[in-house]
Structure 1
Amino acid sequence: MAAPASSAIVQACERLTGASAEALAFATAAPFLQNLGIETLVLWPGNINQAHQVDEYLAVDQIRPGIDLIRQLINEFCLQ
């Protein structure tokens, strides 16, 4: 699954994070949501090299930026 680059949510995430979106092969529930017609992307702080490992972790200094990003997205897409 891949959301179109022209999607408002993709563009907002790129603008807010300063990173370019890319399509990767990971097992998530995102394709099921996309099949329901919901624009979907997978986004969260951390390093994919640390995810889904025996010693998986999220560095403490990455938690606040993740929360702030979600707040900005909620404000932009749900409150404005």
Structure 2
Amino acid sequence: MSQWESPNGPQLISKANVDVAKRFAKPKVWFGWDQGQKAYEMMSCYEGLLELYRITGKNKYREAVGQTGRILRILR
């Protein structure tokens, strides 16, 4: 959890209202292997947040996932 909110981490909770694509520097090749790895990594982090919510009942975890999901739907 502390890694997620560190300055070099994805800041899943504190930046839940920021488009995921704007949280990190753009890769050299947009449609490449590196981009797919980052997408999978981020999805795994959000799955982890949902599991933490199920275990702890802390709404901030569920809300961060929901807020990010809403932003992604708006951007389509």
Normalised to the residue count of structure 2, the TM-score between the two structures is: 0.38
Q: Which has the higher helix share?
A: 2
Normalised to the residue count of structure 1, the TM-score between the two structures is: 0.36
Q: Quick check: which has more Rg, 1 or 2?
A: 1
Q: Which has the higher contact order (CA 8 A, sep 6+)?
A: 2
